[in-house]
């Protein structure tokens, strides 16, 4: 095989791994963003529960004040009852007191309802708080793991980029240019093996004469169907399952 071709195969292998690592480096922080957004949703829920709790406290205070005022009114009416002489007035006052007591009882029922709602909010708050703490702990753990993974991936990437630089030096500039051009249009695979006359890039037969020329290994050939740069893979190597997985 032409030495620049074997170097180019190396370059392609490195490019593929570099591509994978680059994508992973982009994906990892996105994953954290999604988890942080879920936590923010919970915190917003908690804020809403707290606000509702404050509203209920206010309503309870107001209702209790109103009830106390009603109680005062009832006491005053009862005191006046003693001074009333006329039977008609007395009956009217009794009726008024009954009405006021009924109003007060309704108000007390309202207070109980508010207290029940407060209990429900308290439970919801405790539940949300628990979820927030769980999420915060999970996020902290995940952030640390992501930071460590990013650090290691970056180190690996730096090493691979060094290797790629070294390998690229052995490939003529024109060929590299062609390689890059095809790579961008063929999903990262610009150089493909040919086995028994079939291009592994597109799984189609190349021309018989091309195959003969390829086996001679004196010139650089491209697949007539997918334009990938070709190299000859001898039969034994392919049978042993060494054929690289190539995607079209
Ligand atoms: Zn092809």
Distance, first Cα to last Cα, the chain: 23
What is the distance in A from the centroid of ligand 1 to the CA of 148?
40
Domains of the chain from N-terminus onward:
19-166 (1.10.287.1490), 173-239 (no CATH)
Among 111, 126, 6, 102, residue whose Cα is nearest residue 56:
111
* pLDDT at residue 106 in the model: 97
What is the distance in A from the centroid of ligand 1 to the CA of 210?
12
What is the distance in A from the centroid of ligand 1 to the CA of 202?
4
The 10s digit of each residue's pLDDT in 57-107 is 999 999 999 999 999 999 999 999 989 999 999 999 999 999 999 999 999
Q: State the chain's mean pLDDT as an integer.
A: 93
Sole residue written with tokens 């730096």: 158
What is the distance in A from the centroid of ligand 1 to the CA of 165?
27
DSSP string, 98-163: HHHHHHHHHHHHHHHHHHHHHHHHHHHHHHHHHHHHHHHHHHHHHHHHHHHHHHHHHHHHHHHHHH
Beta bridge partners of 173: none
What is the distance in A from the centroid of ligand 1 to the CA of 226?
4
Say which residues have a Cβ less than 8 Å from residue 11's Cβ, sequence separation at least 6: 164, 167, 168, 171, 176, 179
What is the distance in A from the centroid of ligand 1 to the CA of 231?
11
- Dihedral pair phi/psi, residue 209, rounded to 5°: -65, -40
Q: What's the mean pLDDT in 164-173?
A: 94
The 10s digit of each residue's pLDDT in 8-27 is 999 999 999 999 999 999 99
* pLDDT at residue 240 in the model: 53
What pTM was computed for the model?
A: 0.72
The 10s digit of each residue's pLDDT in 20-54 is 999 999 999 999 999 999 999 999 999 999 999 99
Among 142, 146, 148, 145, residue whose Cα is nearest residue 35:
142
- Dihedral pair phi/psi, residue 215, rounded to 5°: -65, -30
* pLDDT at residue 238 in the model: 52
What is the distance in A from the centroid of ligand 1 to the CA of 166?
28
């Amino acid at each position: 095989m032409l030495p620049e071709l074997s170097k180019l195969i190396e370059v392609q292998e490195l490019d593929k791994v570099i591509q994978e690592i680059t994508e992973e480096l982009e994906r990892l922080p996105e994953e954290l963003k999604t988890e942080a957004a879920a936590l923010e949703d919970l915190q917003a829920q908690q804020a809403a529960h707290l606000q509702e709790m404050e509203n209920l406290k206010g309503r309870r205070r107001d209702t209790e004040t109103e009830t106390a005022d009603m109680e005062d009114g009832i006491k005053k009416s009862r005191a006046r009852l003693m001074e009333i002489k006329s039977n008609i007035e007395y009956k009217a006052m009794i009726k008024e007191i009954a009405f006021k007591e009924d109003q007060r009882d309704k108000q007390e029922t309202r207070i109980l309802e508010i207290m029940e709602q407060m209990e429900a909010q308290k439970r919801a708050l405790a539940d949300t708080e628990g979820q927030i703490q769980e999420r915060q702990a999970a996020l902290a753990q995940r952030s640390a793991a992501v930071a460590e993974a990013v650090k290691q991936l970056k180190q690996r990437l730096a090493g691979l980029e060094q290797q790629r630089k070294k390998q690229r030096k052995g490939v003529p500039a024109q060929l590299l240019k062609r390689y890059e051009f095809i790579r961008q249009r063929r999903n990262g695979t610009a150089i493909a093996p040919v086995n028994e006359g079939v291009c592994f890039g597109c799984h189609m037969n190349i021309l018989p004469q091309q195959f003969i020329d390829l086996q001679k290994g004196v010139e650089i050939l491209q697949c007539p169907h997918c334009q990938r740069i070709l190299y000859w893979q001898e039969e034994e190597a392919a049978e042993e399952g060494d054929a690289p997985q190539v995607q079209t």
